[in-house]
Each structure stands twice: as C-alpha cells, then as structure tokens.
Amino acid sequence: FDKEITRLQANRTAAKWERFQMGELMGQTMGVVGYGDIGQTTARLAKAFRMKVLAYRRTEGHADDGVAKYCAGEEGLDYLLRTSDFVVAAMPGTPATRHFINAERIGKMKPSAVFVNVGRGTCVDEAALCDALKRKAIKGACLDVFEKEPLVAESPLWGLDNVLLSPHNADNTRSYYPSTMERFVELTVNFYLKGRPFPETVDLDQGY
C-alpha cells in the first residue's frame, strides 16, 4: 500500500509516466493482534524495516521481548487499534476469537490504517470489514484468509480497489513442504522415538 502498487499498475496500463512521492515503512507503527509464532515473526520483520511494533495477546503475563511493546487488556488493544498504521491479525480460529475484529474494533482504526489478516478468516467480521472498506473508513486491507474459503465469486471483496487478496497461500512457498518434513523427521527422531516431550504441543482445550 505504501508503494501504491495499484496506482503503478493503472499507470502502466495507461502508459502514463507519473512521478509521485511514495511512502515508507520506517517510523510507522505496526500493531500485531495475536502474538504467537506468526505474529512474532511478523514483528521481527517489521522491526527490520525500523517500524515501531505493538503487540496484543489475549493471554496475559508476557514481558516485552525487545521487539514489540505489549498492550495488555482491552485498554491496550484499544490503544493498539487507534495508533497503528498497519493492524495485523495473526490469531488462531477458535470460538473465543470468532469475529474478534468486529465493526466496533474496525471503527477504532485510523482512516489511514491498513488491515492485514494472516491468521484465520473467522476472526474477522467480514461484512463489517467490507462496509468499512467501501466507505473508505480505513485505507485498505491485505487478506490471505476469509470467513468462507474458497472466497465466493459474489463476495464484494473482489471488486474493491483498496483490497489485496491472496487465496490462503501466503505460506505456500517452495521451501514450505521440504522444511516441514525436515521438522517432522527431527521431532520424530529426537523426541518421539526417545520418549521425550515435544517442545511444541497443541492445547486441545484452547484449540491451538
């Protein structure tokens, strides 16, 4: 969005040479909602671009990690939403997170804010997000996940010029499957076969 890709593409189609001032990530604020593995990795990359990073996690008791400033509780989340230039949702899809990003919380974002969802589509009230995007209540959205997948052809998201879409394949890279298999073998050999507890486990009560 800061590089105004859609504007550049439109100019290319029109063979229009237009010089304009582009934005930059340095100095802007990224707010990460859901500070698990994906959220932490996103924060580290943002930090490399010299961005300020805020992080919200529903479970409390986390100290600052040197990358992000933690925003605790509803008050902290409110601060994150109101001050972030980019709001990144990286939450798991559970009953507790369904429509966590709702109309009220979208309404707290700055008109210049960009919303990014790389977690689960069910965490966002898609109808409320579409409404905000149509009204230009926020600058735009980058979405890799959706409430219902595949995204139906009738979805208004397809026709919005302030939305970047990808079909839930942000992680589908050349190295994904080889690295996943490598990790699977490592865990099997070093932990399962030796009867050692796994370093990462799924909490069946929480659903992730």
How far apart are alpha carbons 92 and 152 in whole angstroms?
22
Per DSSP, helices labelled H in 14-125 are: 37-48, 73-83, 103-106
Distances (CA, A) of 124 to 16, 146, 147: 37, 8, 7
Task: Report which of 165, 150, 166, 104 is spatially closest to residue 129, judged by C-alpha positions.
Answer: 104
The answer to whether residue 120 is catalytic is: yes
How far apart are alpha carbons 198 and 33 in whole angstroms?
26
Burial 144-179 (b: 16+ CB within 10 A, else e): bbbbeeebeeebebeeeeebeeeebeeeeeeeeeee
The answer to whether residue 104 is catalytic is: no
Determine whether 78 is exposed, middle or buried from the number of CB atoms within 10 Å of its CB (0-12, 13-18, 19+). Answer: middle
Q: Which of 57, 105, 120, 147 is catalytic?
A: 120
Query: Is the Cα torsion angle 60, 62, 66, 67 positive or negative in sign?
Result: negative
Length of the chain: 208
Q: Which of 24, 44, 62, 149 is catalytic?
A: 149
Q: Which of 7, 58, 98, 168 is catalytic?
A: 168
Among all residues, which ones are annotated catalytic?
120, 149, 168
